[in-house]
Amino acid sequence: MTPGRRRLLIVGVVLLLTALGWALAAVLKPAIHRTIVITTGADKGIYRGFAERYAPLLKRDGVTLDIRASSGSVENYERLKDPDSEYEVGFIQSGTTNPKETDGLETIAAVAYEPIWVFYRGDATINQLAQLRGKRIGVGVPGSGLLNVSLVLLSYSGVTADNTTLLEVDANSAYRALESDRLDAAFFIGRPDAVMQQSLLNSGLKLMSFAQADALVQKFPSLSKVIFPRASTSIIEDLPHADVTLLAATALLVSKDTLHPALVYVLLDAARSAHGGEDYFTPLGTFPNLHTDEFPISDESVRYFKSGRPFLQRYLPFWLASFIERRLLILVPFLAVLLGLLQALPRMAEGRIKKRLVIWYREIKSLEDETWKNRQPSAKQIAQWLKDIDTIDAHANEIRMPQRYFQDVYALKQAIGVVRERIHQVAGKAQAAETER
């Protein structure tokens, strides 16, 4: 083997060992991490409540939900779109952000309506936001989706900071300010069974019914019109005394597009368990759904709503299914390459062995052709031919072959014998011609 070929073989072996080491390391590496960092909202808010319902459901699959508080939807969006942040999943209120294609975010599912409530003081009945002009209004806190939505809705009715006192306060502060006559009206968001909503509904405050709900939804498509039925708060006291028309945003469960697909599926299962029942505003099975276009929809979500979890995840524990899927993802192409190598190596070895024989067959053929072309060779020429055939014969005896190639070696020896016999015939004829002269 020449030095160049030896170096090439060494490089090939090193590359193969490196590839095997990488594959082994990938196989031994844990399939996926089992902690999801989720950004929610205020500690007692609606999003925090959702996350706390998800946590025990995910725990059954061996996944820990690390719940982090925030000021609300806008801050959640800012956290998630940062590719270097630790946050992987969060809740974003529809209509509160202006997402871009470069954000790298996907919707896992729309999970619930978020009703928007406007409570107010006074004797007059208010059913249009324009009636709040000139009053003191609580509009939510910075970073919350409620602040964005309330300001947009008020602007449609000509209510702005130029003609009205708009105060950025949280729900608890707004409630106390209404009770103490420091606010005339305030926006709130949350489910009817939430503690704050129950306090508001059972207080002496009045609840606004949006008489212009249909027009507002046309201008603000991210919102929906919902009905809070008469007597929903108290059948005995008939509260409220009539159906109340509300506007509702939609809570979106959003993730970075780098979230592992297996984790998307367990989150979807948790969301279906947490939100799939009947709601104050929706029939059984309305949520979760994919009826949103604010962010791209996750491919896993599309598959989930079409056919459920992948086959392995349906019949195996989550950890085992993800383990197998991860290993198969790595091992199948690796085994295919390995199988190809195993099939190719014998052919490569056979070609290398055959090449040794071919070299000497070419020498023999060249020598034989020379004996046929030279009709009257000199004694010196014949002597050179005999020397050449002996050299070829000597090299053929030194060839080391596996046993199954012995027949090829003896075929070479037979060819050497044929050419040697041809040289002797030429030498005999040359000697006879010399004698005759």
Task: Identify whether the C-beta of residue 114 lies closer than 8 Å to the C-beta of residue 93.
Answer: yes
Domain that holds residue 366: 350-436
Last residue of one domain, picked from the residues 277, 309, 341 = 309
Structure confidence at residue 437 as a pLDDT band (50, 70, 90): low
Q: Are 162 and 72 part of one and the same domain?
A: yes
Task: Identify whether the C-beta of residue 138 lies closer than 8 Å to the C-beta of residue 186.
Answer: yes
Does any domain span residue 25? no
Task: Identify whether the C-beta of residue 71 lies closer than 8 Å to the C-beta of residue 42.
Answer: yes
Identify the three-state secondary structure at position 328.
helix
**In sequence order, which residues have a C-beta less than 8 Å from that of residue 60 and are 6 or more positions away?**
none
What is the percent of the chain where pLDDT is above 90?
52
Which helix H or strand E contains 226, and what residues bound it?
A: strand 224-228
Q: Are 277 and 365 part of one and the same domain?
A: no
Mean of all residue pLDDT scores within the chain: 85
In three-state form (DSSP H/G/I as H, E/B as E, the rest C), the secondary structure along 99-145 is: CCHHHCEEEEEEEEEEEEEEEECCCCCCCCHHHHCCCEEECCCCCCH
Q: Are 206 and 269 part of one and the same domain?
A: yes
Identify the three-state secondary structure at position 400.
coil
> Tens digit of pLDDT for each residue in 377-387?
888 888 888 88
Neighbours of 139 (CB within 10 A): 24
Q: What is the mean pLDDT of residues 165-184?
A: 96
Task: Identify whether the C-beta of residue 145 lies closer than 8 Å to the C-beta of residue 92.
Answer: yes
> Tens digit of pLDDT for each residue in 177-217?
999 999 999 999 998 988 899 999 999 999 999 999 999 99
> Tens digit of pLDDT for each residue in 272-300?
999 998 877 888 989 999 999 899 999 99
Tokens for 22, please give them. 């990488």
Using alpha carbons, select from 21, 31, 10, 1 the residue that is nearest to residue 321: 31
What is the percent of the chain where pLDDT is above 70?
83
Structure confidence at residue 418 as a pLDDT band (50, 70, 90): confident
Using alpha carbons, select from 81, 95, 96, 90 the residue that is nearest to residue 109: 90
Question: pLDDT value at position 112?
Answer: 94
Question: pLDDT value at position 329?
Answer: 55
Q: Are 272 and 219 part of one and the same domain?
A: yes
For residue 120, the Cα-to-chain-centroid distance in whole angstroms is 47
Question: pLDDT value at position 324?
Answer: 52
| Residue 24, pLDDT above cutoff 80 | no
Task: Identify whether the C-beta of residue 38 lies closer than 8 Å to the C-beta of residue 51.
Answer: yes
Q: What is the mean pLDDT of residues 64-86?
A: 95
Using alpha carbons, select from 250, 197, 193, 219 the residue that is nearest to residue 129: 219
Question: pLDDT value at position 28?
Answer: 45
- CA 150 – CA 281 distance, rounded (Å): 21
Preceding omega of 240 cis (within 30 degrees of 0): yes
Q: Are 139 and 244 part of one and the same domain?
A: yes
| Residue 312, pLDDT above cutoff 70 | no
**The CA-based dihedral angle spanning residues 147, 174, 159, 93, taken in that order and rounded to the nearest 10 degrees:** 20
Does any domain span residue 421? yes
Per the document, the length of the chain is 437
Structurally, the chain folds into a number of domains equal to 2
Q: Are 303 and 398 part of one and the same domain?
A: no
> Tens digit of pLDDT for each residue in 228-275?
999 999 999 999 999 999 999 999 999 999 998 889 999 999 999 999
Question: pLDDT value at position 426?
Answer: 80
401 vs 236: which has the higher pLDDT: 236
- Helix spans in 287-378 (H): 299-307, 311-315, 318-373
> Tens digit of pLDDT for each residue in 340-394?
766 766 677 666 767 777 887 888 888 888 888 887 788 888 888 888 888 888 8
The reported pTM is 0.66
- Can you give the CATH number for the domain in which 187 is found? 3.40.190.10
Q: Are 123 and 253 part of one and the same domain?
A: yes
| Residue 314, pLDDT above cutoff 70 | no
